[in-house]
Structure 1
């Protein structure tokens, strides 16, 4: 076995153990993981898009936004995170418009900030949050793995040749079907759910996951980057590993918030709201 492949497998096992342990533990442990991922995502985003070269002060403001949001997550002030992040994003947007900076700046603030917020909100600190987070993982990981193998086996028309030439429609469909099966199987092993809501939710998250993958591929192609960084031996960067997960979590958080606003969900647990428990 080649050294690079061994390194990739070993680092993959380590990442899986860390993530799954933090997910099982929940609470502060998972919040720390969420914050770490968000800060590393902002580092890679700002590095790839060269924000420090465009406007050092604006990039410093971006770091301040991530540190403040991270602090709110760690101190469990979840209700303040989205309003505070929105405020930072608006100020950054005005800054860019007045100083003719890069619109990748407010984009990075929102992308990285929502990464930490959505992860920590979905997991929460209850059993429903644990199942909801594992549900998202199952959908995203099954989609990613089976999309690759299905695409390789069947081939066919390209999904987005200008962005990611290797991805095919067959892979996207195979990944989506696999994501739905994996997500439904995981939740059904714990709860008796006999309506169509769960498979539809899994399908939405699978599509969101694949969209996140394409979005990161677009950024890397635009800025001529092969990987988001070299932080993870054999895997590239953090964004390379969580691009699909990030978009799936964004979609899950948005759907939960919509249920609170339009359906008047009573529970404060994002995981319970998401799964309809």
Structure 2
């Protein structure tokens, strides 16, 4: 299993880093593929919970949001959301009584939640955007790695015993410290900023990535499945690998765009 994880990382990480460095349409296409694959896994998770969103409408909503992101004309966000809601309402009428209000609400949730990955592309449009993406990636991966090893070696106090018994407070704190260290090391040489800002950013990246991971763990626990999918050898599904970025990406975007640093 470990060799599969390493092989997947050796192939996947350089590809993502290259797309992040190039930015533009290439990055948006890569994000779009990840987003759609993750959306399909999310819909499967919801189906396991006896919730049945309309897959076509969820996919259509994601594609429309990708188009809006490419043109960056935010006036159309409201139009897209209105169209999406109206289509779900029409599906509710057309497919009565099989299609329930909860199905439509779950479809909109899945679309919007996975669309948070679009913020990775939006980060690339900021000044020094490719470096900010790398900071997010480095911080997220460091958080995951440090949390794993800190939890294995020092973990004693359960973080969420009912939800994820293997996660500990020691591992969580180790993840935060690892993210801070990684963000600081990356930034000190390439993008020098104040120490306090880097500590805050590193901590927020780790905390948001851990929350994203726990959200997916909650859904998987309720659905009684181990992995969201099997697409990535050694890692499970797309959601299993990118769930931590669903919240860290928008956090980094707004952290930078509001000029906190």
Normalization by structure 2: what TM-score?
A: 0.87
Q: Is the 8 A contact 1:148 1:171 kept in 2?
A: yes
Aligned to 1:63: 59
Deviations 1:88-135 (A, max 9, x none): 6655786799843234322101111222x21110122x6610110011
RMSD value over aligned CA atoms? 2.7
SS at match of 1:159: strand
Pick closer, same or farther for the CA change 1:141–1:80 going to 2, 3 Å: farther
**1:5 to partner: Cα distance:** 3.2
| Matches for 1:160-175 after TM superposition, within 5 Å | 160-175=160-175
Alignment equivalent of 1:22, drawn from 19, 22, 28: 19
Q: Distance in 2 between matches of 1:231 and 1:114?
A: 21
Alignment equivalent of 1:35, drawn from 29, 32, 35: 32
Normalization by structure 1: what TM-score?
A: 0.82
SS at match of 1:193: coil
Task: Give aligned pairs, total.
Answer: 254
Q: Distance in 2 between matches of 1:92 and 1:105?
A: 11
Pick closer, same or farther for the CA change 1:88–1:255 going to 2, 3 Å: farther
Please, which runs of 5 or more residues in structure 2 have no aligned partner? 94-99
Aligned to 1:106: 108
Aligned to 1:269: none
Deviations 1:63-94 (A, max 9, x none): 11012122333x43353574455446655786
Alignment equivalent of 1:77, drawn from 61, 72, 76: 72
**1:198 to partner: Cα distance:** 2.2
Deviations 1:191-241 (A, max 9, x none): 332351221122112100110111110010011121111111221101100
Instruction: Choose 93-102 or 105-114, whichever is displaced more.
Output: 93-102
Q: Is the 8 A contact 1:48 1:220 kept in 2?
A: yes
Pick closer, same or farther for the CA change 1:53–1:91 going to 2, 3 Å: farther
Q: Is 1:47 aligned to residue 44 of structure 2?
A: yes
| Matches for 1:138-157 after TM superposition, within 5 Å | 138-157=138-157
Q: Is 1:194 aligned to residue 194 of structure 2?
A: yes
Aligned to 2:183: 183
Q: Is the 8 A contact 2:57 2:84 kept in 1?
A: no
Aligned to 2:205: 205
Q: Distance in 2 between matches of 1:92 and 1:196?
A: 47
Please, which runs of 5 or more residues in structure 1 have no aligned partner? 260-272
